[in-house]
Amino acid sequence: MRNREWIVLFIFVAVSIATSNAIGYKTPIGKSLPGILILCGIAFVAVILDKVLPIKLPMIMYCSILGLIIASPISPVAKIVIESTAKIDFAAPLSIVGAFAGISMGKNYKDFTKQGWKMVIIALVVFTGIFIGSATVGHIILKLTKAI
């Protein structure tokens, strides 16, 4: 996508997040605006980095790493970034993600019903096993390293 397309889409997403945060979490749009601009601004920088840097990492990774650096103790703007983005409930940006994901899943409905019960059982066993496995290892290591 061209940078201009990203900008237009991020503006739409920003408006959506402001709307969700206002309706779902009762934060006036004016109050959530600085935080939303920071989130979408950093996401746009991630898009640019993904295009210009020679290392091939998923764009999402740059979002995460940039957010981490900008809010870390070494960053001079950490305080203002953390304070303004704290006004946005962490679930508010998810409503629009769900809407887009739902629309894109519409085309998979037939495939999904065709997969059959066997694959559904295997999928649920895989998901459950991985969740419990990760929680078990995480819990043990947290105990061993005295983090909990």
Partner 1 sequence: MEEYKYSSIKERLKKEYRIYIAAFLIIVISDLIGQHKIPIGPGVLVIFPIFYGLIGGTLLGPDLLKFFKKEESEAASPLVLVAIAPFIVKLGIMAGGNLSQLASMGPALLLQELGNLGTIFISLPLAMMLGLKREAVGATHSINRETNLALISNVYGPDSDEMRGTLSIYIIGGALGTIFFGFLATLVASIGLFHPFALAMASGAGSGIMMASAATSLSHIYPEYADKIVMLAGASNTLTGITGIYASLFLALPLANKLYSILDPVINKKREEETYEK
CA dist., res. 21 & res. 93, Å (int): 8
Q: How many CA atoms lie within 13 A of 75 on its CB side?
A: 14
Choice between 30 and 122, CB closer to partner 1: 122
Q: Does 49 bind partner 1 (CB under 8 A)?
A: no
Six-digit token pair at 102?
């739902």
Residue 31: CB minimum distance to partner 1, A: 16
Residue 28: CB minimum distance to partner 1, A: 14
Q: Find the binding residues for partner 1 in span 77-116 (CB under 8 A).
A: 78, 81-82, 85, 88, 90-91, 93-112, 115
- Which residue in 14, 27, 32, 33 binds partner 1 (CB under 8 A)? 14
Q: Does 18 bind partner 1 (CB under 8 A)?
A: no
CA dist., res. 103 & res. 34, Å (int): 29
**What are the residues whose beta carbons fall under 8 Å from the beta carbon of 103, sequence distance 6 or more?**
none
